[in-house]
Amino acid sequence: MTTTEPTETTTPAKATASAKTTEHAKTTEPARTTEHARTTAPAATGPAREAPAEDTRAAAKAALDAARDHLLGLQSPEGWWKGELQTNVTMDAEDLLLREFLGVRTEEDTREAARWIRSQQAADGSWANFHGGPPEPSTTVEAYVALRLAGDSPDAGHMRRAAAHIRAHGGVPATRVFTRFWLAMFGLWSWDDLPVLPPEMIYLPRWFPLNVYDWACWARQTIVPLTVVGSLRPVRPLPFGLTELEPAPRPGGAPPRGRRLPGWDEAFGALDRVLRVYQRRPAGRLRRAALRRAGEWIIARQEPDGSWGGIQPPWVYSLIALHLLGHDVDHPVMRRGLAGLDRFTIRDETGRRMEACQSPVWDTVLAMIALSDAGVPAGHPALERAAGWVLGEEVKGPGDWQVRRPGLAPGGWSFEFDNDYYPDVDDTAEAVLALSRAAGPEARPAIERGLRWMAGMVSSDGGFGAFDVDNTRALCRRLPFCDFGEVIDPPSADVTAHVVEALCEQGMGDSALCRRAVVWLLKAQEPDGSWFGRWGANHVYGTGGVVPALIAAGVRPGGPVIRRAVAWLERHQRDDGGWGEDMRSYRDPAWIGHGASTASQTAWALLALLAAGERGPSVDRGIAWLTTRQRPDGTWDEDHFTGTGFPGDFYINYHLYRLVFPVSALGRYVNATKGNGS
């Protein structure tokens, strides 16, 4: 079915093809955009023929066999799978700034990171947060500063273009608070012009608003060290300034500082002013005790691999905070932290780049499910190795989730190699599904512990968040400090759907727990028939996850809920037969359901349609999109980002998504059409 895409004028395309980042050869990149315009999402490259109906299943079977073999070939000897988790160049810029701050930056690391950062610059001088996305001011400023640190002259052509772009879009004042935090640490911004969060908040009781457990786990692990950094206000000057980034004066002068805002914004503005006064004259003994307590809190949450939560933001800020509290780089905690970053570092012909996180548990359980969908039997050696590795990754110790569920026994799985304080509901649900299909009786105790823990993590409304229960206090979003990324973890449709599917797999579809979750999903359906996708882009991901879960729970395929979802997917199928949704859909409703076709998103749509019993032209065209665009080695190209970290702010290209989800979709299609002549 034809869709009308958002349109816009375009700016020159991104840098050279040699700078592309996925593990496979790339397709042509779409044009970049100005911040006031949108791109017309391009059709995917490759042949656009529609396979005749009688040939569709044979083509699907051949594509499935090739993709299955490619996926099997990517398994590690230990049993896990892990694709690159690609984000944006702020990871690399901040890594260089961290090393500069700690005095451990090397010439080689700097040279290679700078080469990667340069390769990602757009022709207009900017950097984006995702492939094909619009210029992002904070990312552009951080990349520019990192290149100045690497020795790039402000008179070089690429630096002049970057500086001109920054000036034209508001200069440093237009960046987010976190960017200006980094600049303040090097004397490039005034600490007096940053919002204040005092370390004394570590003492707020758990019932009090804005205590550290009101924040999502990723946010609290970032906020606590930042309270230390913001209270100590370090300045380690760099041998350059940023006068070339100062924007031209606004007509009529700058807007007045401290302008009044309505409602809660006004209240939090007043709170910030009070905290600024306290910051100038804090209670000495209380401040020292709070800093000491914050340091202990940080150290207690370091993972065995040296990380904090297995993710970049709390990791770098924790190292800086501990260093300011007196831990030099030779301290065991600091040594582990710096050494652990090496495992998150990728070096290849494009330079040196950092992963913001790693996803081996997630990738492995998705691969196990995909291989099961492809017909690989439970006793297959690859699945046995994978199941053994997953069982070894079960989280059996305490964590922050116990603050709201103190009586709940440990269980479940986390996302990363090491993140034992923060297992998550999403990974646990998929691990239960994977082990149920691919493992033997030895997995039963772990499955039961995972189910018990997962069931205990239900929120009061019947839905499920990722890491915490009832982590919904939206006041956290109102603080002037929080202008980047989601800082709470409310229930979401995609996580709740995965829980429902896991419960049904275990014969618990009639339980009160599952029924309440199904009701939650029914209420969460959008008026247009789709579901919002919290952890993947976006309504295609949400709808692709919810429909199979509802069908598994007994919702009738012919009922209005499923029919509305099917109609939404069919309306948003692209002319080329695939599906795609651009990351801009999180901020601009015009992009909902629209974007360049991708392998992962096409597979998500097909999984929903197949679960709903669809076998008509939409499914055939989607399958044909996958079969005609498959690479000779069995996988697919996918430059576009389809994973979500923070809706509206931070996005992910999971390099294994382009393979595991098409394997599942093709496997379910081949199985569903077996013996029907199509």
Q: Catalytic residues, which ones?
A: 426
Q: Which 3 state secondary structure label does DSSP give 351?
A: strand
The gap from C-alpha 604 to its chain's centroid, in whole angstroms, comes to 17
Distance CA 33, CA 133 (A): 7
SS (H, E, C) 535-593: CECCHHHHHHHHHHHHHHCCCCCCCHHHHHHHHHHHHCCCCCCCCCCCHHHHCCHHHCC
Instruction: Enter the tokens of residue 291.
Output: 């800093």
- Work out the number of other CB atoms within 10 angstroms of the CB of residue 361: 29
* Distances in whole angstroms, Cα of residue 344 to Cα of each of 312, 578, 587: 9, 33, 30
- Work out the number of other CB atoms within 10 angstroms of the CB of residue 240: 14
What is the torsion angle, in degrees rounded to the nearest 10, for the CA atoms of residue 355, residue 359, residue 364 and residue 369?
A: -120
Distance CA 267, CA 261 (A): 8
Distance CA 215, CA 422 (A): 13
End-to-end CA distance of the chain: 21
**What sign for the dihedral angle of Cα 67, 652, 542, 10?**
negative
Q: Which residue has the tokens 């019947």?
A: 462
Distance CA 150, CA 28 (A): 30
- Work out the number of other CB atoms within 10 angstroms of the CB of residue 437: 18
Kindly state the DSSP code that residue 392 receives in the 8-state scheme: H
Distance CA 428, CA 411 (A): 9
H or E segment and range at residue 354: strand 351-354
Distance CA 168, CA 140 (A): 12
Q: Which residue has the tokens 């569709």?
A: 56
Kindly state the DSSP code that residue 173 receives in the 8-state scheme: G
Residue type, 493: A
Q: Which residue has the tokens 């994978």?
A: 386
Kindly state the DSSP code that residue 443 receives in the 8-state scheme: G
Q: Which residue has the tokens 């059709």?
A: 43
Please name the residues in contact with 674: beta carbons below 8 A apart, sequence gap of 6 or more.
Answer: none
Distance CA 223, CA 231 (A): 12
Using an 8 Å Cβ cutoff, are 579 and 629 in contact? no
What is the torsion angle, in degrees rounded to the nearest 10, for the CA atoms of residue 635, residue 640, residue 643 and residue 645?
A: 140
